[in-house]
Amino acid sequence: MTDFGSIWKTIREVDILAIRHEAEHDVLVVCVGDPAALEHARLLLLEGPDRYPRPMTTALALVGFDQVGERERLIAEADLLIVALDAGATLSAEEVAGLDRLAAVRPQVRILVAFGERSGEAAPWLDRLDRRQTTFVEPRAADAAGRLATAVLAALPAELHLAAARRLPGLRAAFTRRLTGEVSLSNAAFTVASGVPSLVPILGIPISAADTLVLTKNQALMVYRLALAYGAPPEFQKRMMEITPVIGAAVMWRQVAGGLVGLIPGYGILPKTAVAYAGTYITGRVAELWYETSFVSKADLRRFRAEATAKARGVTEQMTLQAREASGKAGRSARGATSGLKRTIGRAVPRRRTPEP
**Is CATH 3.50.50.60 correct for 28-155?**
no
Ranges in the chain, pLDDT < 50: 1-4, 200, 202-210, 266-269, 341, 345, 349, 357
Q: Are 240 and 34 in contact (CB under 8 A)?
A: no
> What DSSP character marks residue 82?
E
To which H or E segment does residue 138 belong? none
pLDDT at 148: 97
Q: Are 29 and 60 in contact (CB under 8 A)?
A: yes
* Neighbour count for residue 142 (Cβ, 10 Å): 7
Closest to 102 in 3D by CA, of 133, 137, 119, 78: 78
User: What gap in Å lies between CA 87 and CA 102, rounded to an integer?
Assistant: 18
Contacts of 290 (CB under 8 A, 6+ apart): 243, 246, 296
* Neighbour count for residue 304 (Cβ, 10 Å): 23
pLDDT at 2: 43
User: What gap in Å lies between CA 251 and CA 318, rounded to an integer?
Assistant: 24
* Neighbour count for residue 238 (Cβ, 10 Å): 12
Closest to 79 in 3D by CA, of 205, 163, 189: 163
pLDDT at 1: 39
Q: Domain ranges for the chain, please list them.
A: 2-17+171-319, 28-155
The angle formed by the CA atoms of residues 127, 129 and 135, to the nearest 5 degrees, is 110
User: What gap in Å lies between CA 283 and CA 287, rounded to an integer?
Assistant: 6
User: What gap in Å lies between CA 167 and CA 33, rounded to an integer?
Assistant: 21
Condensed to tens digits (0 to 9), the pLDDT of residues 305-342 reads 889 888 988 887 787 777 677 666 655 665 565 565 45
> What DSSP character marks residue 266?
T
